[in-house]
């Protein structure tokens, strides 16, 4: 079974802080994704990566950046956290047609 792990389940940060969300997958998948889930808005793609050091903007990249230095690791960075970035963040990986999600990080920015 594919395992996608995220560094924290719950996180509370202050406005203006730099926030790092880490994600690791153990199945040698090429593709990795960061989504955020908000009520009524579903899952929205922030960034994705289809190879090491490659990254592509998703639908809502503003205020975020990513890093993929190793195949198994994909990090999401909030350069200066704001209250509108309070959300559930979901990392995922895929090989072809199925995307596998991590448990999510509930981030609260106060």
Partner 1 sequence: DQQVKQNSPSLSVQEGRISILNCDYTNSMFDYFLWYKKYPAEGPTFLISISSIKDKNEDGRFTVFLNKSAKHLSLHIVPSQPGDSAVYFCAASGVGRGTGNQFYFGTGTSLTVIP
Closest CB 20 distance from partner 1, rounded Å: 19
Decide: 25 and 101 in contact? Cβ < 8 Å: no
Report the interface residues with partner 1, using CB under 8 A.
4, 9, 30-31, 33, 35, 37, 40-45, 48, 50-51, 54, 56, 90, 92, 94, 96-104, 106
Which lies closer to partner 1 via its Cβ, residue 35 or residue 64? Answer: 35
Which lies closer to partner 1 via its Cβ, residue 84 or residue 96? Answer: 96
Closest CB 80 distance from partner 1, rounded Å: 26
Q: DSSP characters for 64-100?
A: EEEEEEETTEEEEEESS--GGG-EEEEEEEESSS-EE
Q: Whole-angstrom Cα distance, residue 90 to residue 95?
A: 17
Q: Judging by DSSP bridges, how do beta strands 105-109 and 10-13 pair with one another?
A: parallel
Q: Which residues pair with 92 in a beta bridge?
A: 33, 101
Which lies closer to partner 1 via its Cβ, residue 51 or residue 79? Answer: 51
Q: Which residues pair with 6 in a beta bridge?
A: 23
Closest CB 63 distance from partner 1, rounded Å: 20
Closest CB 36 distance from partner 1, rounded Å: 11
């Amino acid at each position: 079974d594919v395992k996608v792990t995220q560094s924290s389940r719950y996180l509370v940060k202050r406005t203006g802080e730099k926030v790092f969300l880490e994600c690791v997958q153990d199945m040698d998948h090429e593709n990795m994704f960061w989504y955020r889930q908000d009520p009524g808005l579903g899952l929205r793609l922030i960034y994705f990566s289809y190879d090491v050091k490659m990254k592509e903007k998703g639908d809502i990249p503003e205020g975020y950046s990513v890093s993929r230095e190793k195949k198994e690791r994909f990090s999401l960075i909030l350069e200066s956290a704001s209250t509108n970035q309070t959300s559930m963040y979901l990392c995922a990986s895929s090989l072809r047609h199925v995307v596998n999600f991590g448990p999510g990080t509930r981030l609260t920015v106060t």
